[in-house]
Structures are given as structure tokens and as C-alpha cells.
A and B are shown apart, each in its own frame.
Chain A
Amino acid sequence: MTLKSLILILMSGVLVNNYVLQRFLGICPFLGVSKKFQQASGMGIAVTFVMLCATAVTWPIQTYLLERFNLGYLQTIVFILVIAALVQFVELVLKKVLPSLHRSLGVYLPLITTNCAVLGVTINNITDGYNFLESMVSSLGVGLGFLLAMVLFAGVRSKIDNTAPPKCLQGLPVTLIAASIVSLSFYGFASVVENLLK
């Protein structure tokens, strides 16, 4: 494990394996909270934060609890339980300790409780066989990738707001078409990262 491999993991999380645009996880907040730039960036930062917390908790649970008792098949249900409790806990702590951060992230935290992107990144960290540090870097990359996708799409949507699409496409249909085009553009990164550090 070198610095190079860590950078590789980070960049692949942001660009190549972008969870929203390439793996289609976390589509709900992607479509729901991307109307305004400020909300989109708030949601992206909150997701990044929760992904890091969730990985920090679930990786030890998987390694030291589940694998020890040969309970790998309980992974999904235990992770859901732990992440949901964790997000609630983080919200309570933030409300007391850092009210200013709670004001800016607070409304998004309950939405993330059952976000599949958070569950996805924790499970993928295990299946990819990452160690703890690699898992954290991967979560950071995926979170930043989510933030990037949200911010990009908020920009695209602000342009859509100023157009008059045909009536049958107004609202969600045109948003989904735009999302698919943004997603296509990310295929351009497919082989970038492997050659990034050559």
C-alpha cells in the first residue's frame, strides 16, 4: 500500500466509480435535493460526513465481530442497523455540541439514515478487501464524488428551469433525461484513473 494506491482509490471514487452517475446508488437525494445549489452542496457534504463516520464504525464491526463468528451473511442487516443508529446519534451530538453545523446539515441528516449510497460504500469497502485506511480514503472519494455529482446536477437543473420543454416532458421526465446525459459524460473518465499516475 503506497500513497499512489491511496490516490488511485480516492480518484476512482470521485470520477470512475461515481456512485450516483456510474453505479446508480443514492438516486433519491440526487433527484430530490438537487434543485438549488446551496441545498445540493449541503446534502453532498452531509453524505460525505456520514459515509466517513459509517465506514469508521462498520469496518471494525465486520472485521472484529462478524468475521470472527463467521457471520458474514448478517452484513447487510447489521450495517443498516448500525448506520441508522449512527446517523441519529450524530444528529443528537451535533445539535448539542456544534449547533451551527447542525443548522446547516441538520435537515439532511434524517434523509441520509437509510441512504443506499452510504450502505453501498460500506459494503463495497469490505468486498473490495480494503484495509481500514483504504476504506476511509475510499469513503472520502465516494462522498466527494457524490458532492460533485450533486453540484454539477444542480447547475444543470438551474438551466432547465429557464427552458420550456414540451408539456409531456415537464418536471421529472426532463430531469431524468438530463441526469442520464450527465451520467453519460462520466463514462469519459472510464480509463483515466489507471493512467493517471503512470
Chain B
Amino acid sequence: MIDILIPLLVLAAVGIFCAVLLTLAARFFSVEENETEAALRACLPGANCGACGFSGCDGYAKALANGEAEKTNLCIPGGDRTAGELAAILGKEAEDVVELVAYVACGGTCDASGRKYDYRGKPSCVAAASAFRGDRFCTFACLGYGDCTRVCPNGAISIEGGIARINPKKCVGCGLCSKTCPQHIIHLVKDTTRVVVKCSNKDKGAEVRRICKSGCIGCGKCERSCPSGAIFVKDNLAEIDYSKCTSCGLCAEVCPVHCLEEGSFLCGSRFLPE
């Protein structure tokens, strides 16, 4: 009899001890869920893109509720509407959100530039880029296997003419595509921007000309034509200082290879087919 009782008692004692310990722990170490935090979280779009600089929407809501984050205008996908709602909950004045849009800094469509070998691996830009730096003649070019289209939460990116094209009407500026692209050629700009450089090739002009019809050859015509000194050629590639750019569009007119594109991101006219 005693042979059964002792193990039973020992096991029961261990079990009861654990139960009491957990019950006490649940009581004394309980953490209250913040109501403001839940309300703030409900306003955020839930894309968990991290554009606000916090670890997803939960992180941003928590930081706002705890007062660690002051600004309510950090959520770029949510835009002005979300900023207004967040500010209303916190009793602050809404600030304007600087909305961003992404663009692909490559104009090397099938017509403009070719492929140096026949890639038959997994249809993914990361995989293609690991084999001889991609199958394009231009090592800076968009590979067009659509890693960005798959990561885009809003379906704003499509592959047209062999390269990625971003529809600015659908783009919310979360920057996920920019982080995914193995060529690092997707950039975010303010949605008030009117002119972008659609090339990333930093090779010498003659070399660029040989492999791509629409690549920047670094001729400097744009630099000379710009009335406000906002555009300059650096490392054989045109670069725009957006703090000076007045969006006059003169550079786009003089560019001999048409790698500078002018238009309005907001109305999407710059991407309309020619």
C-alpha cells in the first residue's frame, strides 16, 4: 500500500506546487492591456510594413500609447486619414503625412536592352541575381522576375515589357518592394515629386550606350539645362536634389536617351503608355 501512496503523494505534491506557483504568478505578474493602445491599433491599416520605424502596427500603437512616439503622421500607408484618427484619440492636432510613392529606377525594357543568357532557374529575382549578377546585359537593371510584385500588399506592381512598373495610384509607399529588390533599384520619393531618373547604371556612357538604349550616359545636358541647379551627374549617373527641384521638367525635355521622366505621380500620367 505504502509503495503506491508515496509516489502518488510525491506526484500530487509536485503538481499542486506547480499549480499554486502558476496561479500566484498569474496574479502578481499580470500585465494590463492598454485600452488606448487597442483603439490606436484599430485605426492602423495592419499592413505591418514597418514604414513608421516601429516593429509593425502593434509596435507603433504601443509606442504612441506609452508616449514614446510623439508624431501621429508616421504611418505612410494610412495617410492623412489614419493620422487624423490617431490624433483624435490622443487629443492632438493632426499633422500632414508626407506620402511616399515608389518608382523603379530602370527603363531597360525588352526593346531597350537584352539578356546575356537564357535563365531557366526559379522565376525569382533573388535567384537570378545570384547567377552571374543576373541575366541582363546591364548589371544594374531590373531583372523582371517579379519579387516586388509578389511582396506588394496592394497589387500595385506589374511586370510590363520585361521590367517592373509601379502604379502610383495603388502604391501606398510602404517600401516593401524597395527592401525586397536584390538590385536595390526601387526608390521611395515624396508623392509631390514630378521628375525621376529611370536608370541606375554607373558605368561610363559608351558602355551604357552599348548595352541599353534608355540608360543614362552621363552627358550632363540636364545639369546644364536646369535653372535651379537641382540636377547633377555623379558617378556617370544623373541625380536629382529634390530639395531644389521645382519640377519644371526642362531636364526631361533635353535628355537625349529619355531616362529622365516627367509627369505627375498623383494623377499617374507619367506612366501612361506612349
Interface size class of B (residues with CB under 8 A): 20 to 34
CB distance A95 to B31 under 8 Å? yes
Contacts of A66 in B (CB 8 A): 10
Tell which of B11, B22, B31, B121 touches A78, judged by Cβ atoms closer than 8 Å: B11
CB distance A85 to B122 under 8 Å? no
Closest to B25 in A: A92
- Using a Cβ cutoff of 8 Å, how many contacts connect chains A and B? 59
CB distance A95 to B7 under 8 Å? no
CB distance B122 to A89 under 8 Å? no
Contacts of A3 in B (CB 8 A): none
Contact with A along B230-255 (1 / 0, CB 8 A): 00000000000000000000000000
Tell which of B7, B14, B127 touches A162, judged by Cβ atoms closer than 8 Å: B127
A77 within 8 A of B: yes
Q: How far is the CA of A147 from the CA of B126 in the complex (A)?
A: 26
CB distance B121 to A164 under 8 Å? yes
Contact with A along B1-43 (1 / 0, CB 8 A): 0000011001100110011011001101111000000000000
Tell which of B14, B30, B122 touches A164, judged by Cβ atoms closer than 8 Å: B122
CB distance B127 to A93 under 8 Å? no
CB distance B121 to A89 under 8 Å? no
CB distance B122 to A162 under 8 Å? yes
Contacts of A161 in B (CB 8 A): 126
Given contacts A162-B126, A163-B122, A164-B121, A92 and B22 within 8 Å (CB-CB): yes
Q: How far is the CA of A88 from the CA of B25 in the complex (A)?
A: 9
Please report whether the interface of chain A is mostly helix, strand, loop or mixed according to DSSP: helix
Contacts of A95 in B (CB 8 A): 29, 31
CB distance A92 to B29 under 8 Å? yes
Chain B proximity of A110: nearest CB distance (Å): 14
Chain B proximity of A28: nearest CB distance (Å): 24
Tell which of B10, B19, B28, B121 touches A74, judged by Cβ atoms closer than 8 Å: B10
Tell which of A71, A81, A163 touches B7, judged by Cβ atoms closer than 8 Å: A71
Q: How far is the CA of A164 from the CA of B130 in the complex (A)?
A: 13
Given contacts A89-B25, A96-B31, A65 and B10 within 8 Å (CB-CB): yes
Contacts of B130 in A (CB 8 A): 162
Interface size class of A (residues with CB under 8 A): 20 to 34
Chain A proximity of B62: nearest CB distance (Å): 10
B124 within 8 A of A: yes
Tell which of B15, B29, B122, B126 touches A81, judged by Cβ atoms closer than 8 Å: B15
CB distance A69 to B31 under 8 Å? no
CB distance A78 to B122 under 8 Å? no
A82 within 8 A of B: yes
Given contacts A71-B7, A81-B15, A163-B127, A92 and B122 within 8 Å (CB-CB): no
Q: How far is the CA of A118 from the CA of B11 in the complex (A)?
A: 20
Closest to A94 in B: B29
Contacts of B18 in A (CB 8 A): 81-82, 85
Contacts of B15 in A (CB 8 A): 81
Q: How far is the CA of A89 from the CA of B17 in the complex (A)?
A: 12
Tell which of B10, B11, B29, B127 touches A96, judged by Cβ atoms closer than 8 Å: B29
Q: How far is the CA of A71 from the CA of B18 in the complex (A)?
A: 19
Q: How far is the CA of A161 from the CA of B11 in the complex (A)?
A: 48
Contacts of A96 in B (CB 8 A): 28-31
CB distance A89 to B22 under 8 Å? yes
Q: B-contacting residues of A (Cβ < 8 Å)?
A: 61, 65-66, 69, 71, 74, 77-78, 81-82, 85, 88-89, 92-93, 95-97, 99, 161-164
Between-chain CB contacts (< 8 Å), 10 pairs: A69-B10, A78-B14, A82-B14, A92-B22, A92-B29, A97-B29, A99-B31, A161-B126, A162-B124, A164-B121
Q: A-contacting residues of B (Cβ < 8 Å)?
A: 6-7, 10-11, 14-15, 18-19, 21-22, 25-26, 28-31, 121-122, 124, 126-127, 130
Q: A74-B10, A163-B122 are in contact. List 11 more A-B contacts (CB 8 A).
A: A69-B10, A74-B7, A88-B22, A92-B22, A95-B31, A96-B28, A96-B29, A96-B31, A99-B31, A162-B122, A162-B130
